[in-house]
Amino acid sequence: MVNKKYLLLAGVCSLLATQPVFAQEGSQTAKWSGRDMTYRGQSYDVLDTNYVPGFRMKQHRKFLNHQYAFPARPRNMWEIGFGAGLYNVSSDVPTLMAWQTKGGGGLGYHLHVRKAWGYVLSTRLQYIYGVAKGLQWQESRNYRYNSAWKDYYQAAVFENLNQPSDPVFYNYRMEAHQLNLDMIASLNNIKFHKARTAISAYAFIGLGAFAYNTRVDALNASSQKYNFHQILGISNAQTQIHENRRDIQKKLQESMDGTYETDAENERDRRRPEVFNNKTLQFAPSAGIGFQFRLSQRINLSIEDRVTMPWDEDLLDGQRWSEQVFGSPVQTNQNDFVNYLNLGLNFNLGNKRKSIEPLYWINPLDHAYNELSYPRHMQLPDPILPDSDGDGITDQFDKCPGTPAGVAVDSHGCPLDTDGDGVPDDRDKQLITPTECQPVDADGVGKCPCPEGCGTVAPSCGSIGAGSVTFDNNASKIRPAAQAQLATLAAQMQANPTCKVVITGAGNGSKIQQQRSWDRVNAIIEYMSEKHGIDRNRFIFQYGQAGDANGVMYRSAMPGEEGPANVAPPFPNLRRD
Please tell me the predicted confidence (pLDDT) of residue 243: 67
Same domain, 349 and 477: no
* pLDDT above 80 for 212: yes
Residue with the larger pLDDT of the pair 249 and 206: 206
- Across the range 500-522, mean pLDDT stands at 90
Please tell me the predicted confidence (pLDDT) of residue 495: 78
pTM above 0.75, yes or no: no
How many angstroms separate the Cα of 421 from the Cα of each of 20, 533, 554, 558, 559?
A: 70, 37, 20, 17, 19
What range defines the domain where residue 323 resides? 77-361
Q: Is 115 helix (H, G, I), strand (E, B) or coil?
A: strand
At 17, the pLDDT band (50, 70, 90 cuts) reads: very low
* pLDDT above 70 for 40: no
At 32, the pLDDT band (50, 70, 90 cuts) reads: very low
CA 38 to chain CA mean position, Å: 15
Q: Is 19 helix (H, G, I), strand (E, B) or coil?
A: helix
Please tell me the predicted confidence (pLDDT) of residue 39: 46
Residue 380 lies in a domain: no
Nearest to 355 by CA among 118, 53, 121: 53
Please tell me the predicted confidence (pLDDT) of residue 25: 45
Q: How far apart are CA 419 and CA 227, in angstroms?
A: 125
Same domain, 130 and 260: yes
Nearest to 150 by CA among 129, 168, 133: 168
Q: How many residues does the chain have?
A: 577
Percent of the chain residues topping a pLDDT of 90? 37
Q: How far apart are CA 43 and CA 365, in angstroms?
A: 11
Same domain, 466 and 356: no
Residue 57 lies in a domain: no
Q: Which contiguous run of DSSP H or E holds residue 128?
A: strand 121-135
- Count of CA atoms in the C-beta half-sphere (13 A) of 461: 24
Same domain, 333 and 466: no
**Phi and psi, residue 62, nearest 5°:** -60, -40
Residue 404 lies in a domain: no
Nearest to 356 by CA among 16, 568, 21, 43: 43
Same domain, 85 and 231: yes
- Written in H, E and C, the secondary structure of 432-483 is CCCHHHCCCCCCCCCCCCCCCCCCCCCCCCCCCCCEEEECCCCCCCCCHHHH
Amino acid at 247: D
Burial of 423 per CB tally in 10 Å (0-12, 13-18, 19+): buried
What are 304's strand-pairing partners? 290, 342
* pLDDT above 70 for 391: yes
Please tell me the predicted confidence (pLDDT) of residue 82: 97
Q: Choose the final residue of a domain: 313, 339, 361.
A: 361
Residue 195 lies in a domain: yes
Residue with the larger pLDDT of the pair 257 and 327: 257
Residue 413 lies in a domain: no
Residue with the larger pLDDT of the pair 461 and 563: 563
Most confident option among 38-52, 187-201, 397-411: 187-201
pLDDT digits (tens, 9 = 90+) for 394-451: 888 888 888 887 777 777 788 877 777 788 877 877 777 777 787 888 777 877 766 5
pLDDT digits (tens, 9 = 90+) for 355-366: 999 999 999 998
Radius of gyration of the chain (CA): 44
**Phi and psi, residue 180, nearest 5°:** -125, 145
* pLDDT above 70 for 346: yes
* pLDDT above 60 for 263: yes
Residue 67 lies in a domain: no
CATH number at residue 282: 2.40.160.20
What are 347's strand-pairing partners? 80, 299
Residue 411 lies in a domain: no
Residue 386 lies in a domain: no
Same domain, 472 and 357: no
Q: What is the DSSP letter of 342?
A: E
Amino acid at 442: A
Q: What is the DSSP letter of 499?
A: -
Q: Choose the final residue of a domain: 334, 361, 388.
A: 361
CATH number at residue 545: 3.30.1330.60
Q: Choose the final residue of a domain: 320, 337, 361.
A: 361
Residue with the larger pLDDT of the pair 336 and 575: 336
When divided into structural domains, the chain yields a total of: 2
What are 46's strand-pairing partners? none
Same domain, 354 and 473: no
Same domain, 491 and 349: no
pLDDT digits (tens, 9 = 90+) for 294-323: 999 999 999 999 999 998 788 898 888 766
* pLDDT above 50 for 1: no
Please tell me the predicted confidence (pLDDT) of residue 479: 87
